[in-house]
């Protein structure tokens, strides 16, 4: 634990450095380097804790709520999530260092002073990481919520570092608002968990779990509270706005890591603090997850902004994780802990997977932004020629998030399906049938995600440049590439050797569902992923990768040996276009790529409409296609709420402009009413 | 028949009270405003030092004065905010004189009134006699009315007039309540001072006629509640905050509201100790919630920055009143903590707002933008203040709101929901405004007059309190929380 | 173990060898059904050979991705085909991946092909890619739901285990299996770009899906892609045969390889004939009606999964 | 002795209450001031009678203060202000006179309802006194909110204070502190009112509160 404390204190100290030395040229290097080191230490500690399996370690600090103190405890779950945070922290620091330097240089070149352009990132970056780590360590309600809110606060400030962008203030405001609403829900939930005694320790809550009604309410509030942070539909609206608004390495942390902290909150409360679960908790979680997964990916398909698209895709992945959590809960409630362990393993594996490839993809978005200055898909294109290394790494990320074997995304999906296929073991009919539907939703989301990332990669990296900036782009610096390469390598490694990771976080799973995913197997060959439950199901990423590599190489050699190997370059055939239109307007754009899917799904869900403005024959103006769609979450939830508050505020405002006599009348009325009440109550 | 009460406190309490009183008289005679402003600081420093010395004393109560767990922290808090406000004021009036808004004669009056106001507040806090308490609060009203109208602008006169009329009526009602308390206590305790003395009343509370206590509490709540700024009695508060000098806004929000609430709480203790009287909790809860919800909504349409934060004070007074209304050791503790934290935070915000208004040359929120860019120290200070008042960690308000919300929801879910709703609505408005104030393209580049030390001193205290509370303070608050029922 | 490896190698070679034959067979039957004589069943072999000999004409701005996709795609589909037992369930690669992995491998192939379609920056590639991904978005879940129905019955997703179980004959006729079969056939039609979803013979721009994506390919690259498409057709036929009609297949403990092989050839012939019959008797639908067709498949497969519980409390 | 004491106190208290009602239906400023003078006189009498009946000499001071300040000084000063500032001599009621009277009667009923059941231990005199003073306070408030004219609001405010004094003198042994504070507050109140009246005159050319209120706090 000492190592952990040192690392956390270092993060706080780095924030101070970031403030105190903000003028000095080496401060970026110091803060990002320090943060990477501290996160590395945290990660090492977490791995040590998971490998050592020496149970939970705890500490009490004499601060916080006076009669409670701050309780910290790290068990398997905490250690696992700490590892996720640390991984994200290391890569984001590395990438962020390069990213900020690149942006400073760009600002120096263009003659605009960077200091006036954006707000500070350095002090809040380590604090954000520290906040997330503390959430994972907290072992009493107060420290949990303080850290939770601190995490929101620092990330809000990080979003606001781009406050000169026209979109940022609204995004930041919505973000903080939703974050605080979520925290208030969590406050209420913990209020119920703690009861009236004021003993905020998790240990005390564990000993006295609430009775059924209160527990149900806690579940609801947790889903709302943690869900709003994770991006549960329809509470996701802030996410596609706020995540992209932050600098890219922060976006990566927010999307890749912070949403996982919300998942941790759900795991901690639903699996640990609430005691024995009831089956419908999991059912509700799965239903919410299914809606979130499908809606999230549909949102992503509608976006033209690279980072916004990635943020929407985060919503989808959170949905998948929630489905897995729900399954685990359902199986735990039905006393089949081994299958629950399988589902929970799927959830946790997807947590680490998503944190990896989403960080990677946000870094890619940052690299694109650095190289081209735009995030608009419709202004990109052809980057594979100008940013070759980034393009390879981005391809790994896109393939991984599309759940393609032999990468890591597929392993998570595979495990999840293995758990889903065990639905017949459940006693509840509604669940059996419901899980089939949820399975369809997962499959749909996965397939749509593949479409979404074909679109992202195809539009941004392939084809011809759609703007001069995209045509001039160049490869980004080494630090940024390294920041991208680490998660990309891990994506491959996890896909090929998933068993290692699943074994690594087995203590976490065991702590939550009291079983491991491989418990029924007496013998577990190390490279085969063959969990419990069904006969013969197994998967081997290593052999798959080996076979693909071997067959491909054999194929290439064979064809080049025995068939033709001549190549001639020519212009692409463009149906009469000579392939020389400089604006590359004849290419498919981001909107046109999404059109078939928009036609198939968007019409009902988003009320999406394509409007074509076709000029008269002879008119030389180009035809225009405009796509308009409405977000149901806004249309049916947030806009009405906003209108209601505005309406009330407008009407309450009359009270500011009354005459003194009217105010006296109010006072008099209050007095008379209260006196009458007293008279009535007494008689 | 009554044991003789010691007539003198062998402590620093007299110094705490006498220093401002003497200085009030003295400052009325000092023509040099620069000297006066530093004398003002000096006097406050003496008062604050003396108030710190009170921590170690355990004096018995006299007929007029008392020092107990309830008021000792509040006295120190008042003296501290008085000191920091005096420091802030020194820089603030420098700018006002430079811009020709105030002349030396008015400043003489201002400084004298400042000390007189502090005296009345400290007297009210340390009073052991209902009459003295009432006189002190009346005095506080009068001095602040005069200071609110200091600028002699049409708006400030109107605000002061509104303030005076509403609080005048309120104070009259409070006096009626005080008389009723005496009326209830007199048959039990006999005529004379004893029936108006806190410590005695509290000791004999169980024997006092509960029906008159009820009646009395209604008048006291409406009366002093007007000064607390509880809806629907709050109308004076936003205007008085907005139109007076900013140091006065800081002490109004930071101190006067607290002292008025302190008075209400003293009487609530009496009712709690009586046992047979109607529980005043529901009344406080209703007024607290309505203040919270109303102020939260009002925040959205405010264009004047000081009025905006004045409504935020109403909101927080609502939260505090609600906390004491729902009662119980946790909620009462939260309420006391919130009182202290709000006092420090809100006055810090007003310090920052004072500087921001002087820089921008306007009180309109639209006219102030991008403070973190143009004046980083001020902008981040203001941001930290608003973040703190919005109830975000790691500041102290978070801890009190945490304790309050968690304990409320377990007991009264619906009330907990309303409370959370109000906080959320208010939060929306706060974020909306603070982002515009602190971020975006800056509007003003004028330098800051005076030091930001008071702002950061308050923020530091609030920050520390958010993560660590000293044990004696906790013990005091817990003792009072138990008494409040 | 050694036997399994030998079987696997044989199996891989067999599917590679048979794939063009199946395509040729389908074309021949189609021709005969519409009254043409049609080309020989061996014509696809000749086509591929010719393409392999030709030079590749690459678009100016084609990237390395464009050039490597044919190999990746072919490998992925070949590997996927290697996972489906055709004449014996005793395959070395069987535990490497199950039905889900198979679907994902096909997804990988599609993913890269769609990317390749966008690489040259022409509008046709984009049309093809976007439509292909839309079709896949519905076809893939439908296929997974079929897997779900089958797996719930059999308690496994391993194709070898499914085949063994189905041969056991304890399953009997089931509504859900029928629904799943229909859904799977619909998916197979869509995935292999057959009528009514797509027309493998057309090059009419506005209706193309698969052909639009590969429009820029030529020479050996095109040969690989065509070969992969043929493999995919064979693969689907094999999957349907393996799950719904595994009879005759050898297992590690019993059955003859020769019988397995012969029965597989017979099944292929039947499947090809059925496909040809179906294609000639139906018209191609508009691209945007494809969603309804596949949505129907998805619903059918979901219904199949739900019917499982109705017909017998599994 | 006690009966007489009771009756006299009752009588004087009732007179104060009656004048409160009378204040409510005055339409002219000067007659308003006259009625207020009568109220102050009655109050002063009540205080003096209590001082005599209960042998509490300090109440004589209260009586004297009330007499000099409220019965003489303030009415005279207000007269002069009205004349000097050429204030409209008629009072514009915000609430109809009839309605005001109905409200007044309801308030008195409420006071009696509140006081009668609750003071079983107190003497009858105290109870009476309390009911009366509560009514006077509430009627004073009613007066303040039912008039638009600043002078009548001042009168209403002072009528509340009269109710307070009536209550204070009715309770046996109330320490002097309170009366002093009342006197103090009345004096200060008057001074401040005076300042305001002048400044309001300076700024708004009228004493009508409505005009002041048209100036809104939220300028934009």
The per-residue pLDDT for range B48-62, each reduced to its tens digit, is 998 888 887 777 778
Output the pLDDT for position D205. Answer: 40
Residue A605 has pLDDT above 90, yes or no: no
Output the pLDDT for position A485. Answer: 96
For residue D160, being part of any structural domain is answered with: yes
Q: Quick one: which of A563, A601, B448 has its CA closest to C74?
A: A563
For residue A240, being part of any structural domain is answered with: no
Q: Which of D185, D199, D204 sits opposite B138 (nearest CB)?
A: D185
Q: Does residue A307 come out as left (phi exceeding 0), alpha (psi in the -120 to 50 range) or beta? A: alpha
Residue A113 has pLDDT above 60, yes or no: no
For residue D36, being part of any structural domain is answered with: yes
Output the pLDDT for position A609. Answer: 83
A/B Cβ contact: 3+ pairs below 8 Å: yes
Output the pLDDT for position C231. Answer: 95
Into how many domains does chain D fold?
1
Instruction: Please state which of the ranges A74-78, A398-402, D129-133 shows the lowest mean pLDDT.
Output: D129-133
Q: Residues C57-97: pLDDT tens digits?
A: 998 889 999 999 999 999 999 999 999 998 888 888 888 88
What is d(CA A502, CA A347) in angstroms, rounded to the nearest whole number? Answer: 11
Q: Are residues A437 and A509 in the same domain?
A: yes
Residue B158 touches partner D, C-beta closer than 8 Å: yes
Residue C134 touches partner A, C-beta closer than 8 Å: yes
Q: Residues B168-178: pLDDT tens digits?
A: 889 889 989 99
* Torsions phi, psi for A68 (to 5 deg): -115, -50
What percent of chain A clears pLDDT 90, i.e. is strictly above it?
A: 60
Residue B309 touches partner D, C-beta closer than 8 Å: no
Output the pLDDT for position C64. Answer: 93
Instruction: Please state which of the ranges A177-191, A267-281, C160-174, C221-235 shows the lowest mean pLDDT.
Output: C160-174
> Under an 8 A CB cutoff, do A655 and B235 touch?
yes
> Under an 8 A CB cutoff, do D181 and B135 touch?
yes
Chain C residues in contact with A448 by the CB 8 A cut-off are 137
Task: Identify the residue with better confidence: B482 or B193.
Answer: B482
Mean pLDDT computed over A648-665: 87
Q: Please, what is the average pLDDT of chain D? A: 76
A/C Cβ contact: 3+ pairs below 8 Å: yes
Residue B215 touches partner D, C-beta closer than 8 Å: yes
What percent of chain B clears pLDDT 70, i.e. is strictly above it?
A: 97
Instruction: Work out the number of other CB atoms within 10 angstroms of the CB of residue B215.
Output: 30
> Under an 8 A CB cutoff, do A652 and B424 touch?
no
Is there a contact between B99 and B167 (Cβ–Cβ < 8 Å)?
A: no
Residue A418 touches partner C, C-beta closer than 8 Å: yes
Residue A668 has pLDDT above 90, yes or no: yes
Q: Which of D117, D145, D216 sits opposite A661 (nearest CB)?
A: D145
A631, two tokens: 């977000």
Residue A115 has pLDDT above 60, yes or no: no
Residue B79 has pLDDT above 60, yes or no: yes
Instruction: Please state which of the ranges A313-322, A600-609, B362-371, D30-39 shows the lowest mean pLDDT.
Output: A600-609
Residue B4 has pLDDT above 50, yes or no: no
Q: Quick one: which of C197, C189, C200 has its CA closest to C284?
A: C197
Q: Quick one: which of B262, B140, B215, B198 has its CA closest to D167?
A: B215
Q: Residues C88-111: pLDDT tens digits?
A: 888 888 888 888 999 999 999 999
Residue A79 has pLDDT above 60, yes or no: yes
Task: Identify the residue with better confidence: D214 or B188.
Answer: B188
CA A46 to chain CA centroid, nearest Å: 21
Residue with tokens 């079709």: C135
Mean pLDDT computed over B6-27: 74
Q: Which of B142, B196, B304 sits opposite D175 (nearest CB)?
A: B196
Chain B residues in contact with A180 by the CB 8 A cut-off are 390, 392, 424, 427
Instruction: Please state which of the ranges A291-305, A388-402, C172-186, C298-312 shows the lowest mean pLDDT.
Output: C298-312
> Under an 8 A CB cutoff, do A667 and B328 touch?
no
Q: Quick one: which of C178, C189, C201, C208 has its CA closest to C278?
A: C189
Q: Residues B447-479: pLDDT tens digits?
A: 888 889 999 999 999 999 999 999 989 999 999
How many interchain CB pairs under 8 A, A with D? 45
For residue D220, being part of any structural domain is answered with: no
By CA distance, what is B176's nearest residue in D?
Answer: D164
What percent of chain A clears pLDDT 70, i.e. is strictly above it?
A: 94
Into how many domains does chain A fold?
3
DSSP assignment of B132-184: HHHHHHHHHHHHHHHHHGGG--HHHHHHHHHHHHHHHHHHHHHHHHHHHHHHH
Output the pLDDT for position A117. Answer: 54
Q: Which of D144, D177, D189 sits opposite B131 (nearest CB)?
A: D177
Residue B23 has pLDDT above 80, yes or no: yes
Residue B164 touches partner D, C-beta closer than 8 Å: yes
Residue A580's pLDDT band (boundaries 50, 70, 90)? low
Output the pLDDT for position C93. Answer: 86
Instruction: Please state which of the ranges A318-322, C7-11, D44-48 shows the lowest mean pLDDT.
Output: D44-48
Q: Are residues A464 and A602 in the same domain?
A: no
Q: Are residues A399 and A475 in the same domain?
A: yes
Q: Which of B222, B436, B441 sits opposite A671 (nearest CB)?
A: B222
Residue A160's pLDDT band (boundaries 50, 70, 90)? very high
Mean pLDDT computed over A100-110: 80
Chain A residues in contact with C151 by the CB 8 A cut-off are 421, 534
Into how many domains does chain C fold?
1
Give the gap in angstroms from C-alpha C241 to the nearest C-alpha of chain A: 20
Mean pLDDT computed over B413-417: 92
Give Rg (Cα) of chain C. 19
User: What is the extent of the structural domain holding C147?
Assistant: 2-311
> Under an 8 A CB cutoff, do C98 and A538 touch?
yes
Q: Quick one: which of A263, A182, A183, A225 has its CA closest to B402?
A: A183
User: What is the extent of the structural domain holding B410?
Assistant: 279-485
What percent of chain C clears pLDDT 90, i.e. is strictly above it?
A: 44
Give the gap in angstroms from C-alpha D36 to the nearest C-alpha of chain A: 21
Q: Quick one: which of B400, B380, B397 has its CA closest to B462?
A: B397
> Under an 8 A CB cutoff, do C130 and A586 touch?
no
Give the gap in angstroms from C-alpha A171 to the nearest C-alpha of chain D: 28
For residue D218, being part of any structural domain is answered with: no
Residue C26 has pLDDT above 90, yes or no: yes
Output the pLDDT for position C13. Answer: 93
Give the gap in angstroms from C-alpha B166 to the nearest C-alpha of chain A: 7
For residue D219, being part of any structural domain is answered with: no
> Under an 8 A CB cutoff, do A679 and D113 touch?
yes
SS (H, E, C) B45-60: HHHHHHHHHHHHCCCC
Into how many domains does chain B fold?
1
Those chains having 3 or more beta-carbon pairs within 8 angstroms of chain C are A
What is d(CA C196, CA A572) in angstroms, rounded to the nearest whole number? Answer: 29
Upper half-sphere CA count for residue D190 (Cβ side, 13 Å)? 18
Chain C residues in contact with A595 by the CB 8 A cut-off are 130
Output the pLDDT for position A453. Answer: 96
Those chains having 3 or more beta-carbon pairs within 8 angstroms of chain D are A, B
Residue C234 has pLDDT above 90, yes or no: yes
> Under an 8 A CB cutoff, do D181 and B138 touch?
yes
Output the pLDDT for position B219. Answer: 94
For residue B400, being part of any structural domain is answered with: yes
Mean pLDDT computed over B258-273: 93
| Overall pTM surpassing 0.90 (yes/no) | yes
By CA distance, what is D219's nearest residue in A?
Answer: A657
Q: Give residues with Cβ within 8 angstroms of C220, minimum separation 6.
A: A559, A563, A564, A565, C51, C52, C54, C56, C70
Residue A384 touches partner C, C-beta closer than 8 Å: yes
Residue D144 touches partner A, C-beta closer than 8 Å: yes
Give the gap in angstroms from C-alpha A398 to the nearest C-alpha of chain C: 10
Output the pLDDT for position D122. Answer: 58
Q: Are residues A451 and A403 in the same domain?
A: yes
For residue A461, being part of any structural domain is answered with: yes
Output the pLDDT for position A581. Answer: 59
Give the gap in angstroms from C-alpha B64 to the nearest C-alpha of chain A: 30
* Torsions phi, psi for B108 (to 5 deg): -60, -45
For residue B299, being part of any structural domain is answered with: yes
Q: Which of A181, A195, A666 sits opposite B410 (nearest CB)?
A: A195
Mean pLDDT computed over C18-22: 94
Residue B5's pLDDT band (boundaries 50, 70, 90)? very low
Output the pLDDT for position D209. Answer: 53
Residue with tokens 């602190």: B438
> Under an 8 A CB cutoff, do D157 and B168 touch?
yes
Task: Identify the residue with better confidence: C166 or B87.
Answer: B87
User: What is the extent of the structural domain holding A600?
Assistant: 590-614+622-628
Give the gap in angstroms from C-alpha A83 to the nearest C-alpha of chain C: 28
Q: Are residues A485 and A600 in the same domain?
A: no
B/C Cβ contact: 3+ pairs below 8 Å: no
User: Which residue numbers of A have CB closer than 8 Å to D's CBs?
Assistant: 656-661, 664-665, 668, 671-672, 675-676, 678-679, 682-683
Residue B259 has pLDDT above 80, yes or no: yes
> Under an 8 A CB cutoff, do B169 and D141 touch?
yes
Output the pLDDT for position D207. Answer: 47
Q: How far apart are the first and last CA of chain B?
A: 30
Mean pLDDT computed over D148-160: 80
Residue A306 has pLDDT above 60, yes or no: yes
> Under an 8 A CB cutoff, do B233 and A149 touch?
no
For residue D156, being part of any structural domain is answered with: yes
By CA distance, what is A119's nearest residue in B?
Answer: B373
By CA distance, what is A165's nearest residue in B?
Answer: B440
Give the gap in angstroms from C-alpha A681 to the nearest C-alpha of chain B: 9
Give the gap in angstroms from C-alpha B410 to the nearest C-alpha of chain A: 5
Those chains having 3 or more beta-carbon pairs within 8 angstroms of chain A are B, C, D
Residue D5 has pLDDT above 70, yes or no: no
Q: Residues A345-362: pLDDT tens digits?
A: 999 999 999 999 999 999
Instruction: Please state which of the ranges A312-316, B242-246, C202-206, D207-211 shows the lowest mean pLDDT.
Output: D207-211
> Under an 8 A CB cutoff, do A563 and C220 touch?
yes
What percent of chain C clears pLDDT 70, i.e. is strictly above it?
A: 96
Residue A243's pLDDT band (boundaries 50, 70, 90)? very high
C116, two tokens: 């390749």
Mean pLDDT computed over C153-174: 81
Q: Residues B367-376: pLDDT tens digits?
A: 898 899 889 9
> Under an 8 A CB cutoff, do A141 and B406 touch?
yes
Q: Quick one: which of A221, A254, A220, A222 has its CA closest to A240?
A: A254
By CA distance, what is A118's nearest residue in B?
Answer: B373
A573, two tokens: 């055939």
């Amino acid at each position: 634990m000492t190592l952990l404390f040192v690392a956390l204190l270092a993060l706080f100290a780095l924030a101070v450095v970031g403030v105190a030395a903000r003028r000095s040229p080496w401060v970026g290097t110091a803060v990002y380097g320090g943060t990477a080191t501290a996160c590395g230490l945290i990660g090492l500690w977490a791995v040590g804790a998971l490998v050592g399996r020496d149970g939970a370690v705890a500490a009490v600090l004499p601060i916080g709520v006076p009669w409670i103190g701050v309780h910290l405890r790290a068990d398997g779950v905490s250690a696992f999530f700490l590892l996720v945070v640390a991984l994200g922290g290391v890569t984001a620091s590395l990438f962020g260092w390069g990213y900020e330097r690149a942006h400073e240089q760009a600002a120096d070149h263009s003659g605009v002073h960077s200091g006036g352009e954006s707000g500070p990132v350095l002090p809040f970056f380590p604090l954000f990481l520290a906040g997330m780590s503390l959430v994972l360590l907290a072992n009493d309600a107060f420290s949990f919520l303080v850290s939770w809110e601190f995490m929101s606060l620092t990330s809000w400030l990080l979003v606001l570092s781009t406050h000169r962008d026209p979109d940022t203030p609204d995004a930041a405001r919505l973000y903080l608002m939703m974050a605080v609403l979520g925290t208030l829900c969590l406050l209420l939930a913990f209020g119920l968990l703690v009861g009236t005694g004021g003993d905020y320790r998790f240990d005390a809550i564990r000993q006295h779990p609430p009775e059924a009604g209160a527990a149900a309410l806690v579940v609801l509030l947790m889903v709302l509270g943690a869900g709003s942070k994770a991006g549960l539909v329809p509470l996701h609206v802030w996410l596609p706005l706020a995540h992209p608004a932050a600098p890219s390495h922060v976006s990566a942390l927010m999307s890749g890591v912070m949403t996982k902290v919300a998942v941790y909150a759900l795991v901690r409360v639903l699996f640990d603090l609430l005691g024995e679960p009831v089956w419908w908790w999991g059912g509700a979680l799965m239903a919410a997850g299914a809606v979130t997964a499908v809606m999230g990916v549909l949102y992503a398909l509608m976006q033209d902004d690279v980072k916004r698209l990635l943020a929407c895709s985060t919503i989808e992945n959170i949905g998948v994780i929630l489905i897995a959590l729900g399954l685990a809960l359902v199986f735990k409630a039905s006393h089949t802990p081994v299958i629950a362990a399988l589902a929970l393993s799927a959830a946790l594996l997807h947590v680490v997977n998503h944190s990896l490839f989403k960080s990677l993809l946000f870094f890619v978005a940052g690299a694109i932004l650095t190289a081209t200055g735009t995030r608009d898909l419709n202004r990109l294109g052809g980057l594979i020629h100008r940013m070759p290394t980034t393009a390879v790494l981005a391809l790994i990320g896109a393939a991984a998030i599309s759940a393609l074997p032999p990468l890591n995304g597929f392993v998570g999906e595979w495990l999840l399906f293995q758990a889903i296929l065990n639905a017949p073991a459940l006693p509840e009919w509604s669940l059996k049938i419901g899980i089939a539907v949820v399975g369809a939703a997962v499959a749909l989301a996965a397939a749509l995600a593949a479409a979404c990332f074909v679109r992202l990669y195809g539009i941004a990296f392939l084809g011809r440049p759609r703007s001069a900036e995209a045509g001039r782009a160049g490869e980004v610096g080494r630090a940024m590439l390294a920041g991208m390469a680490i998660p990309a390598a891990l994506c491959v490694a996890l896909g090929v050797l998933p068993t290692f990771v699943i074994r690594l976080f087995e203590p976490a799973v065991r702590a939550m569902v009291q079983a491991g995913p491989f418990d029924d197997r007496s013998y577990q060959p190390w490279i085969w992923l063959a969990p419990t439950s069904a006969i013969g199901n197994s998967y081997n990423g290593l052999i798959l990768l080996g076979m693909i590599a071997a067959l491909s190489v054999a194929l290439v050699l064979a064809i080049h040996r025995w068939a033709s190997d001549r190549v001639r370059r020519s212009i692409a055939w463009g149906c009469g276009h000579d392939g020389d239109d400089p604006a590359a307007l004849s290419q498919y754009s981001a909107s046109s790529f999404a059109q078939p899917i928009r036609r198939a799904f968007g019409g009902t869900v988003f009320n999406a409409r394509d409007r074509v403005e076709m000029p008269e024959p002879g008119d030389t103006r180009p035809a225009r296609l405009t796509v308009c769609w409405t977000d149901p979450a806004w249309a049916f939830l947030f806009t009405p709420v906003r209108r209601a508050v505005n309406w009330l505020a407008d009407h309450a405002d009359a009270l500011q402009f009354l005459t003194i006599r009217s105010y006296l009348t109010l006072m008099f009325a209050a007095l008379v009413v209260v006196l009458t009440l007293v008279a009535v109550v007494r008689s | 028949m009554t044991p003789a009460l010691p007539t003198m406190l062998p402590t620093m309490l007299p110094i705490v009270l006498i220093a401002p009183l003497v200085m009030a008289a003295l400052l009325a005679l000092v023509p040099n405003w620069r000297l006066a402003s530093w004398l003002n600081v000096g006097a406050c420093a003496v008062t604050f030092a003396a108030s710190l010395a009170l921590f170690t004393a355990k004096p018995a109560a006299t007929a007029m004065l008392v020092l107990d767990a309830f008021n000792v922290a509040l006295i120190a808090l008042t003296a501290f905010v008085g000191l920091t406000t005096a420091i802030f004021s020194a820089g603030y009036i420098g700018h006002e004189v430079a811009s020709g808004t105030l002349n030396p004669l008015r400043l003489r009056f201002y400084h004298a009134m400042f000390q007189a106001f502090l005296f009345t507040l400290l007297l009210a806090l340390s009073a052991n006699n209902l009459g003295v308490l009432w006189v002190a609060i009346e005095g506080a009203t009068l001095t602040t009315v005069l200071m609110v109208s200091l600028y002699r602008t049409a708006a400030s006169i109107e605000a002061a007039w509104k303030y005076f009329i509403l609080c005048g009526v309120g104070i009259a009602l409070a006096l009626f309540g005080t008389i009723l308390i005496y009326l209830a206590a007199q048959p039990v305790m006999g005529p004379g001072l004893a029936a108006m003395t806190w410590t005695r009343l509290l000791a004999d509370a169980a024997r006092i006629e509960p029906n008159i206590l009820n009646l009395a509490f209604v008048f006291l709540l409406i009366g002093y509640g007007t000064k607390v700024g509880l809806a629907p009695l709050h109308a004076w508060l936003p205007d008085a905050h907005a139109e007076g000098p900013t140091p006065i806004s800081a002490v109004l929000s930071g101190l006067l509201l607290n002292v008025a609430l302190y008075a209400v709480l003293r009487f609530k203790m009496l009712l709690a100790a009586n046992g047979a009287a109607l529980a005043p909790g529901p009344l406080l809860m209703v007024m607290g919630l309505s203040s919270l919800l109303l102020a939260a909504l009002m925040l959205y349409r405010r264009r004047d920055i000081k009025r905006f934060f004045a409504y935020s004070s109403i909101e927080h007074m609502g939260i505090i009143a609600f906390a004491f209304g729902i009662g119980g050791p946790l909620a009462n503790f939260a309420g006391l903590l919130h009182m202290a934290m709000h006092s420090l935070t809100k006055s810090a915000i007003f310090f920052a707002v004072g500087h921001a208004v002087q820089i921008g040359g306007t009180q309109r929120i639209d006219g102030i933008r991008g403070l973190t860019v143009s004046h980083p120290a001020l902008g981040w200070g203001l941001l930290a203040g608003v973040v703190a008042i919005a109830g975000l960690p790691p500041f102290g308000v978070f801890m009190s709101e945490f304790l309050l919300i968690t304990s409320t929801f377990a007991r009264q879910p619906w009330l907990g929901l309303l409370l959370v709703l109000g906080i959320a609505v208010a939060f929306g408005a706060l974020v909306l405004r603070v982002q515009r104030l602190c971020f975006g393209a800056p509007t003003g580049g004028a330098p800051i007059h005076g030091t930001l030390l008071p702002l950061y001193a308050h923020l530091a205290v609030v920050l520390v309190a958010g993560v660590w509370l000293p044990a004696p303070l906790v013990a005091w608050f817990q003792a009072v929380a138990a008494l409040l029922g | 173990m050694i036997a399994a490896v030998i079987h696997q190698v044989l199996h891989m070679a067999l599917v590679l060898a048979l794939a063009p034959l199946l395509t040729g067979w389908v074309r021949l039957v189609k021709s005969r059904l519409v009254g043409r004589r049609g080309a020989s069943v061996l014509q696809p072999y000749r086509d591929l050979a010719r393409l392999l000999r030709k030079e590749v004409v690459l678009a100016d701005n084609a990237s390395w991705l464009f050039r490597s996709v044919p190999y990746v795609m072919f490998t992925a589909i070949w590997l996927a085909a290697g996972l489906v037992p055709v004449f014996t369930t005793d395959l070395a690669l069987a535990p490497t991946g199950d039905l889900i992995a198979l679907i994902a491998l096909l997804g990988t192939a599609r993913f890269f092909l769609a990317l390749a379609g966008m690489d040259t920056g022409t509008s046709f590639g984009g049309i093809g890619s976007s439509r292909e991904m839309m079709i896949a978005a519905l076809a893939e879940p439908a296929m997974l739901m079929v897997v779900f129905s089958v797996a719930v019955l059999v308690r496994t997703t391993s194709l070898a285990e499914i085949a063994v179980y189905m041969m056991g004959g304890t399953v009997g006729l089931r509504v859900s299996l029928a629904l799943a079969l229909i859904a799977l056939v619909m998916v197979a039609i869509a995935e292999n770009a057959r009528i009514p979803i797509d027309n493998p013979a057309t090059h009419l721009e506005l209706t193309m899906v698969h052909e639009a994506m590969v429009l820029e390919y030529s020479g050996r690259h095109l040969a690989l892609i065509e070969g992969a498409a043929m493999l995919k057709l064979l693969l689907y036929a094999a999957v349907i045969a393996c799950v719904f009609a595994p009879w005759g297949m050898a297992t590690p403990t019993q059955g003859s390889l020769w019988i397995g092989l012969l029965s597989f050839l017979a099944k292929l012939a039947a499947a090809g004939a059925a496909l040809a019959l179906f294609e000639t008797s139906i018209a191609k639908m508009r691209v945007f009606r494809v969603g309804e067709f596949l949505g129907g498949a998805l619903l059918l497969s979901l219904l199949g999964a739900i019917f499982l519980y109705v017909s017998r409390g599994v | 002795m006690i009966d007489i004491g009771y009756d006299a106190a009752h009588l004087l208290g009732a007179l104060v209450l009656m004048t409160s009602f009378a204040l409510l239906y005055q339409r002219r400023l000067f007659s308003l001031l006259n009625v207020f003078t009568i109220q102050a006189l009655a109050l002063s009498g009540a205080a003096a009678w209590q001082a005599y009946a209960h042998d509490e000499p300090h109440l004589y001071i209260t009586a004297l203060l009330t007499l000099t300040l409220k019965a003489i000084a303030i009415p005279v000063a207000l007269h002069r202000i009205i004349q000097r500032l050429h204030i409209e001599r008629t009072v514009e009621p915000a609430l109809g006179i009839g309605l005001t009277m109905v409200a007044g009667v309801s308030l008195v009923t409420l006071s009696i309802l509140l006081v009668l059941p609750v003071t079983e231990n107190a003497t009858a005199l105290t109870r009476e006194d309390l009911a009366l003073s509560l009514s006077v306070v509430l009627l004073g408030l009613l007066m303040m909110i039912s008039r638009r004219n600043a002078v009548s609001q001042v009168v209403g405010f002072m009528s509340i204070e009269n109710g307070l004094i009536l209550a204070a003198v009715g309770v046996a042994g109330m320490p002097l502190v309170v009366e002093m504070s009342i006197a103090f507050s009345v004096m200060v109140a008057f001074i401040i009112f005076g300042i305001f009246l002048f400044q309001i005159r300076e700024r708004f050319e009228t004493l009508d509160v409505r005009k002041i209120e048209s100036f809104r706090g939220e300028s934009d």
